[in-house]
Structure 1
């Protein structure tokens, strides 16, 4: 005969297993493969109820992973580009991508911050890193603010995170560090 204590224990274990299995973000095999090829470490958000969105190609970029949180009103769109032959200088690629995403209006500035190489290495294990704050184009999102972070490491590739949000709550600052390089690239 099952006692009340045993029933509560079984119920608690089931609840823990259910919560744990639904807290994990299951991303695509292709995204995992790209992370491995570029030796990127991905830190999954554990608070904020992030949900994976359909992978999509909009008029601007093709994303490898799209996460959204209703709690924080924050969208995160990841792009991982393993090194493939000769690459365009990173600062040109970054500025071109930023100007493609940002509203083209003389009343709104694009604020760009390029990390010192020592800081880029310390924070992201990258050779180069920069982020830009801007007002995104209305055709891109209904969010009021955008931030693009790109990191680059020779022989590994480039990773970018596009953060779209309505208010500066600090969550966008924490999510900037969800990708970092871990070492030398490996082949498939």
Structure 2
């Protein structure tokens, strides 16, 4: 609920050119192109569908093979919801980019949303089998690297990236809930069918 309220606040500020845009623009001006484009472009590419989606697909296949069909399906649904949620907001807000004021559709960041759902979703699916924190740490680093790359390259404003993270958090909470529910045992399946 908090994520939804914060997302609504940020969206409202973008729509009405509210006071949050001044620090957003100042931060962007201070950060854009402070790191070579060759580095920030590679970081941004982590949010591309051909890069991020296979990671989630492999984790979904692994979880499904281990009997966690609900969790795998929920992760797939979360990823399918990313464009369904992001694209309408891009069209509605028509926010220009930091380096392309003539273009529109930068809010929220689709690359950030894709990276967050793919990498964190994958970590949530495989973590029960590793019993270690490294999948979550790797997912957060990859998602953060994507976000930082997008901001430093000038492809997104910081609020675009923040909005994507706020938008995706409920999706990831749903995946986490499905993972915690665990696999359906064969014994309970037999009882319910008999």
Q: Do the structures match in fold with TM over 0.5?
A: no
If asked which structure has higher relative contact order (CA below 8 Å, sep 6+), I would say 2
Task: Name which one, 1 or 2, has greater alpha-carbon Rg.
Answer: 1
Give TM-score scaled by structure 2 length: 0.30
More helix per residue: 1 or 2?
2
